[in-house]
Structure 1
Amino acid sequence: MKHLILILSLFTCHHFLHGDTKPNILVFLSDDLSARDLGCYGATDVRTPNMDRLAAEGLTYDKAFIISPACAPSRTALLTGLTPDHSGAKANHTYKHQHIPSLIPELNKLGYRTAAFGKIAHGKDVSDHSFHHHDKSIDPAAIEAWLDAQPEEAPIALFVGTKDPHVPWPQPDGYSPEEVTIPPFHIDTPDTRLFRAMYYTDVTRADTDLGNTLAIVEQRWGKDFLALFSSDHGAQWPFGKWNLYDEGIRVPLIVRWPGHTSPQSRSVAMVSWIDIIPTLLDAAGAPADLSLDGASFKGTLQNLSKPHRNRIFTTHDNDGRANVYPIRSVRAHRWKYIRNLQPGWIHSTHSDRYRKDNAGAYHWSWEEAAMHDKTAALIMNRYRQRLGEELYDLEKDPDELNNLAGDPQFADTLLQFRAELDAWMNEQGDSQKVAPEPWLPGQADLLEPRSDWPPYYPK
């Protein structure tokens, strides 16, 4: 009997030390990075060695999405587990209601020491979070000092966010404009190629930030911790950021957690950014909070065939005065339905309307190309003005180039997703209204971009 008690005691101790130990956590976020622009997601013309290494050592989600393609609503959704209508942060540069809590304190209640370095939250929401927050730029020495000051027995949840590849983009470094790949929904001009090389340079800088952060953490923890990498939305290109096409809402999501994920594994489970912190809390042993819109996808880490969501809903209103174009969408594995609430308005973005020489000046070359090239004209027209409804078969048309909403063959599919989006918008309490004044056809651009700017790329 004594031997049995001893065995049971040893088993209980081992289970406590190894089975129930809360994992250290590293969450690393990039800013404005589409999933297509990583090597581990199929890109062949951009260098992302650290992101690719993390994918090789862990689990890559092929269908990970944000809930809104702008910084403030997306990051608020991450930190609250709530949709923009439920948190109050819907347009960019709006913030959650004061009574809405962040989920970071839930990690603190579990004994975690939490800190954020770089861009994790957005604007004044930083002050509402209970973790120790540092400047928006990543300071490796500050990360090292903070980690070294933590007691050994306390689990740590470290959040690090790079501002790359958010504009402004640097001059190309190691990338040739002639060798980059231009997506089929962009206009291939010398300016576009130069800016694509600039963007890729910034993508690689973000990758370097990830590599440096992993090196700091792995030096202290080895690899026995939960590492999660993602991006707040797609890149600041036409049809990307501020849009509900996959270029704007589909983001990289990689999780490496030895013993829970397998190397070089991939999941087709559809997950959302509102699910991330519920998943971290689940990994730390917290019970599920059913009041949240987000839900843990921890069960998909080892079961690659396990589904999570069967629909992804997304929403966008505006980003200040430069981007006033409300859009809603619902995405299934095969189909995407987009509703442009005000199809009579002109769609625009900051890059288009401000046209800085390191963020958007290529738009001059697009307009020039559209004057004499039919394909370019079609792209520009689709960029500026859109039909009220869009329907895409993502299996046959992953770049969302062929709108099937007007095809009688798909009328039943259109009706189905139209009804699903209506139901979701009603549940959200979606007012479908935006405050800023829109840009209307025939109306002068109220932001008055400088008309004397020449194309950036030397002719």
Structure 2
Amino acid sequence: MPGGKWTTYDIGVRSACIMKWPKPYNNKFVTNAITQYCDILPTLIEAAGGEVPSNLDGKSLIPLLKENNTKHREYAYFLYNNTKEGPDYKMRAVTDGKFKLIWNKSQNNLYAIRVINGFDFGYVDKMEDRHVRKMYLSWLAKAGYDEDASKIVQRYRKHPDFELYNLNDDPEEMVNLIDKQEFNAKVNELKNALMAHMKKQEDSFYTIN
């Protein structure tokens, strides 16, 4: 859906993980602990009795499973780099489970995905009835007479430098809190965490101007 895949919004990056284990990992519990896909490999290595290499980005989930922990990571990180989807666009994001900070590195460029709004930059899709583009076109049609629809279209096409969302109160990430002074400390915390992660990953876009 537009605003899902090819973004760093939760609808495009968040997923549940269901795990079934033989004894002694047969605890039945649910946790909202923050994990990432890179945690799966070290988990399988440890579960098989191997030694997890220290240079892996992931952290084994075995302690989480054994101890029914509610915490695994302090933050989760996300990125988006378009390739041939449209104008150059880079997104980076971090969440502590409650708040998410999104950094739109290419905020001066039009955000466009070929199969959704490629016609915004001249791309001609060979599949005329692609459902994701039809969704976007329905927004455009309504934007001509509906202010809310017009705002959504503009929000999709152009993103601010930074976005901050309270995922508990605003799970659809529609209310950007970045300019609210009461969240300045949280913004700085998340910016610092994101920059540290990007530097560690040797991400060439880690410097905030």
Q: What interval of TM-score do these two structures reach, taking the shorter chain for normalisation?
A: 0.7 to 0.9
Q: Which one of 132, 138, 142 corresponds to residue 360 of structure 1?
A: 132
Q: Which one of 142, 151, 155 corresponds to residue 382 of structure 1?
A: 155
Distance 1:256 1:323 in 2: 43
Residues 428 and 301 (structure 1 numbering): CA distance in 2 closer, same or farther, change over 3 Å? same
More strand by share: 1
What one-letter code is carried by the residue in structure 2 that aligns with 1:330? V
Q: Which one of 336, 345, 349 corresponds to residue 113 of structure 2?
A: 349
Q: How many residues align?
A: 196
Residues 357 and 411 (structure 1 numbering): CA distance in 2 closer, same or farther, change over 3 Å? same
Identity %: 31
Q: CA deviation at 1:427?
A: 1.9
**TM-score, normalising length: structure 2:** 0.86
- Secondary structure of 2:91 counterpart: strand
Q: CA deviation at 1:306?
A: 4.1
Match of 2:75 in 1: 311
Q: CA deviation at 1:262?
A: 3.8
Distance 1:308 1:395 in 2: 19
Q: CA deviation at 1:416?
A: 1.7
Match of 1:143 in 2: none
Distance 1:331 1:422 in 2: 13
- Secondary structure of 2:194 counterpart: helix
Deviations along 1:234-260, whole A, 9 cap, x unmatched? xxx112111111111101211111432
Residues 239 and 321 (structure 1 numbering): CA distance in 2 closer, same or farther, change over 3 Å? closer
Match of 2:168 in 1: 395
Q: CA deviation at 1:303?
A: 2.7
Checking the alignment, whether the CA contact within 8 Å between 1:269 and 1:309 is kept in structure 2 is: yes
Distance 2:18 2:81 in 1: 28
Alignment of 1:412 with 2:176, yes or no, is: no
Match of 2:122 in 1: none
What one-letter code is carried by the residue in structure 2 that aligns with 1:381? Q
Distance 1:409 1:356 in 2: 47
Deviations along 1:198-243, whole A, 9 cap, x unmatched? xxxxxxxxxxxxxxxxxxxxxxxxxxxxxxxxxxxxxxx1121111
Match of 1:261 in 2: 26
**TM-score, normalising length: structure 1:** 0.41
Q: CA deviation at 1:319?
A: 3.4
> Does 1 or 2 have the higher relative contact order (CA < 8 Å, sep 6+)?
1
Q: Which one of 90, 95, 100 corresponds to residue 331 of structure 1?
A: 95
Residues 251 and 411 (structure 1 numbering): CA distance in 2 closer, same or farther, change over 3 Å? same
Q: CA RMSD in A?
A: 1.8
